[in-house]
Structures are given as C-alpha cells and as structure tokens.
C-alpha cells in the first residue's frame, strides 16, 4: 500500500480499503481493530480531512456555508408485548397503506427508515408495517437477562404481529432482517418471505470481513455530526461515508445520509448483535410451506452475491432475483426495483401458486446469470453463472 501515493480518486470506496485489509479480517480476534484501522486509513488517505475539520474554528468548517439542520427521526407508534416465557418487549413501528399486510425489517445498525424510499411505492397496494428491531431506532433494547438470539427475536415479532392483528403477514427483511424473515417463515409466522441480501449464509472468513466493514462504518458514523453533515453535502463525501454500503451515493439526499449515520451511531444493540451473530447455523433447514424470494445485489460488497448459492442449497424451491448493479443496500440504489420485487412476491396470485412451478423471468438480471425461476436448478445455475463479488 505504501509503494505509490494514494490520491482522493482511489480512496472513496470503503470496499477497496477493506479489501486491502483482508488478511487482518481473517484474524477473528482482530475484527474490531481492523474496522478501526480501515477508518484511520480512510481519514489519512483523504488528506486528514476529518482531523483538519476538527481543528478548524466552527464558522470555518463549511467555508461560510451553514450546516443544514438534521431532521429528527420520525416518531412511530409503540406496542408492548410479552412473548411466552420471555420478558416484556416494546417495539416501535409505523403502519401505512392498504391491502395485503407486509412487514418490513431492517438490517444491523439501521432502523425502519431504511425502507423510506420503498414504502411510498408499496402503500397504494399494500398495508405496510415497518418495525424497529430491539435496540435499534426507537425500540428499546432487550431487557437485561433476555437471551439475545434469533429465537427471542422471532418470538417477540410473533407477539407484535398478534398485537397488531396481523395473521401471518408477508415478511420482507434486509440483511439481518432478511435472516429474521427466513426464521419467521420457518416458524410458520409469515405468509411469504422476501429476503434481501440475508445474513447468515457466509463462511467464517466472509463473516469476519462483513463485521469489519460494518465496524468501520460505525466508526465513521461516530465522527462528530458536524463533520458527517459537512461530508454529506457532496457526492464525494457520500462516497467516503457510505461507499461500501451504497453503489449510487448520488441518489441519497444529505438528510438521508445523516439520518442513516445517526441510526448507526445510536444503535445500542450493535455490538451485542454482532456478538450473537458469531453463532453457528444461524439458518439451517428448509422452509417447505412458505413461498420464499431471495433478492441479491450483484455488486454487494458486504455480503457478496456468491453467498446466494448457499441459500439456494438450503431452500431448494426459493425464487432467486438478481438486483443488477446494486450494493448491500438496494433500497437506496434501486428503490423502484426493490418495490417491484416485493409487490410481485406478495401478490395473492403469486403466493397462491404451487411452490416449485417454473415462472417466467420478470425482473432484469445480470447477463452472467441465467434467469429467475422458482426452481432450485435455475436458482443454482443463476448463482453459478455469476462470478462477481
């Protein structure tokens, strides 16, 4: 890395930085340190920008431009539940729209606002419920002594569904939320499951790598808010802040970038959830009685698309949908495409079809893969044909 000068043009994607630290991420004990080192390198390679900004008098931070006020997080409704055998939990949620009920679950370090670009595209036809997972967004963390595992989250969400009058809603999840959605399907609590870049189908090395990237992202999010607000005013700054998670940084308004960083910074359950994520067999077995759609960005730099092959092996009748050119957060990169996937997966005619019947391709896919199908054979061929990461 020290053989030639590094310029601003080649440091703006955290994925390239994280790739340079791949040997470090292979050391399990060094995951958190690796994440911190990634952030330090970003700052150093950017010419010491954050340090320089910190050293400036406040009026000079934006060279005379006022930092725009950051809108407060939307206040949701709250529901208190007590799942059998567990302590009382409180969940924050928002409910909008009309039609088939669809629950949206966010990923690690995020909150229900992660779906904000997608929700308006769904509410004309769907009753959309976005939920903050325990310890994220406005939802309090799990009570002391409560097991922090997927079984607890599934039981808690099942109780939330009952309290809201939802009988086996469609469940859509992203990353951590995608894994939880699959487990809800296994528990018989979902009418259908749509999982976007689900966690849990990684190798040990891939898990360490993903955790290092997410830790680095959180370190950046914990920079003083004036710095992140200043950086969020330009596409260049967007790339520094979110270049690994988003493929199309220019599509996010500064306020949205600031809000996502705030959610990551304030996620009280972040570290504990990562520790729980080290468990083996986060997902095992099939979901034989629930229609499952798995969607994956072809340019995902946190959970590479090759992990879809493992999902296809475990869930033979799933429908595989590629999201061309999308990184780990396709709700930002291509909200209309994500909404289309959800609407198709949750359509009454779609969920009523016999699982395993072939269907015609409906969503654009990368040329490396062979198509969309409900069959494992086509899902595997699509994955095998895709060579990107």
**Full-model pTM:** 0.75
Of 252, 276, 300, the last residue of a domain is 276
Q: What is the DSSP letter of 104?
A: E
In a domain, 146, yes or no: yes
| Same domain as 95, residue 155 | yes
In a domain, 362, yes or no: no
In a domain, 129, yes or no: yes
| Same domain as 268, residue 131 | no
Q: Which two tokens stand for residue 113?
A: 């606002």
| CATH number where 333 lies | 3.40.50.1820
- Per-residue model confidence (pLDDT) at position 239: 63
In a domain, 147, yes or no: yes
| Same domain as 48, residue 38 | yes
What's the rounded Cα separation, in Å, for the pair 329 and 214? 13
| Same domain as 90, residue 161 | yes
In a domain, 365, yes or no: no
Tell me how far apart the 2 most distant CA atoms of the chain are, in Å: 65
- Per-residue model confidence (pLDDT) at position 234: 64
What is the C-alpha R_g of the chain?
20
- Per-residue model confidence (pLDDT) at position 18: 38
- Per-residue model confidence (pLDDT) at position 238: 58
| Strand 89-97 relative to strand 77-81, pairing | antiparallel
- Per-residue model confidence (pLDDT) at position 16: 39
- Per-residue model confidence (pLDDT) at position 286: 86
In a domain, 381, yes or no: yes
H or E, element range at 382: helix 376-385
| Same domain as 348, residue 264 | no
| Same domain as 210, residue 188 | no
| Same domain as 179, residue 312 | yes
In this structure, is the dihedral angle defined by the CA atoms of residues 96, 88, 150 and 26, taken in order, positive or negative? positive
What's the rounded Cα separation, in Å, for the pair 296 and 57? 44
In a domain, 152, yes or no: yes
| Same domain as 255, residue 345 | no
What's the rounded Cα separation, in Å, for the pair 116 and 163? 24
What's the rounded Cα separation, in Å, for the pair 319 and 292? 6
In a domain, 261, yes or no: yes
Chunked in runs of 10, what are the mean pLDDT values of the chain (389 residues)? 35 37 34 41 38 31 32 72 95 97 97 96 98 97 93 97 97 98 97 97 94 90 83 65 64 74 92 91 88 96 93 92 93 94 91 46 38 35 37
In this structure, is the dihedral angle defined by the CA atoms of residues 277, 279, 284 and 289, taken in order, positive or negative? negative
Of 219, 245, 276, the last residue of a domain is 276
Are the CB atoms for 50 and 62 separated by under 8 Å? no
Q: Which two tokens stand for residue 177?
A: 């939320």
Q: What's phi and psi for 73, nearest 5 deg? A: -60, 145
Give residue 251's domain range.
8-69+203-276
| Same domain as 287, residue 168 | yes
* 320-to-182, 239, 291, 312, 371 alpha-carbon distances in Å: 14, 29, 12, 8, 8
| Same domain as 380, residue 290 | yes
- Per-residue model confidence (pLDDT) at position 107: 96
| Same domain as 231, residue 144 | no
Q: Which of 262, 259, 260, 252 is nearest to 333 (CA)?
A: 252
| Same domain as 380, residue 316 | yes
Q: Which of 216, 253, 262 is nearest to 232 (CA)?
A: 253
- Per-residue model confidence (pLDDT) at position 2: 41
What's the rounded Cα separation, in Å, for the pair 76 and 282? 30
Of 260, 276, 292, the last residue of a domain is 276
- In the numeric block, the tokens 């390679």 are attached to 45
- Per-residue model confidence (pLDDT) at position 202: 94
How many structural domains are present in the chain? 2
């Amino acid at each position: 890395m020290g053989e030639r000068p590094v310029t601003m043009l080649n440091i703006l994607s955290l994925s390239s930085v994280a790739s340079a630290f791949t040997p470090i991420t292979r050391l399990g004990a060094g995951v958190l340190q690796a994440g911190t080192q990634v952030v330090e390198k970003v700052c150093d390679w950017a010419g010491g920008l954050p340090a320089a900004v910190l050293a400036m008098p406040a009026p000079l931070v934006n060279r005379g431009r006022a930092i725009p006020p950051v809108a407060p997080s939307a206040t949701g409704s709250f529901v208190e539940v007590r799942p059998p055998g567990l302590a009382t939990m409180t969940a924050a949620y928002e409910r909008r729209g009309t039609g088939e009920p669809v629950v949206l679950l966010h990923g690690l370090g995020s909150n229900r606002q992660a779906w904000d670009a997608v929700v308006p595209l769904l509410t004309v036809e769907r009753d959309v419920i976005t939920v903050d997972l325990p310890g994220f967004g406005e939802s309090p963390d799990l009570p002391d002594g409560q097991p922090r595992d997927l079984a607890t989250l599934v039981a808690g969400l099942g109780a939330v569904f009952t309290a809201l009058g939802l009988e086996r809603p469609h469940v859509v999840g992203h990353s951590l939320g995608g894994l939880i959605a699959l487990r809800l399907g296994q528990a018989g609590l979902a009418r259908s499951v749509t999982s976007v870049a689900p966690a849990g189908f990684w190798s040990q090395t891939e898990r360490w790598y993903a955790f290092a990237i997410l830790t680095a992202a959180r370190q950046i999010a914990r920079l003083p808010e004036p710095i992140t607000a200043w950086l969020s005013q330009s596409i260049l700054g967007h790339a520094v802040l979110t270049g690994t998670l988003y493929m199309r940084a220019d599509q996010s308004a500064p306020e949205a970038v600031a809000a996502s960083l705030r959610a990551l910074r304030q996620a009280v359950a972040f570290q504990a959830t990562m520790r729980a994520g080290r468990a083996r067999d986060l997902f095992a077995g099939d979901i034989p009685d629930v229609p499952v759609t798995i969607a994956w960005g072809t340019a995902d730099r946190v959970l590479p698309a090759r992990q879809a092959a493992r999902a296809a092996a475990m869930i033979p009748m799933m429908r595989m949908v590629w999201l061309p050119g999308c990184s780990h957060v396709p709700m930002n990169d291509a909200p209309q495409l994500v909404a289309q996937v959800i609407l198709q997966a949750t359509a009454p005619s779609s969920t009523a079809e016999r699982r395993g019947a072939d269907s015609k391709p409906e969503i654009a896919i990368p040329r490396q893969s062979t198509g969309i199908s409900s069959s494992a054979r086509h899902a595997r061929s699509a994955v095998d044909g895709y060579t990107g990461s």
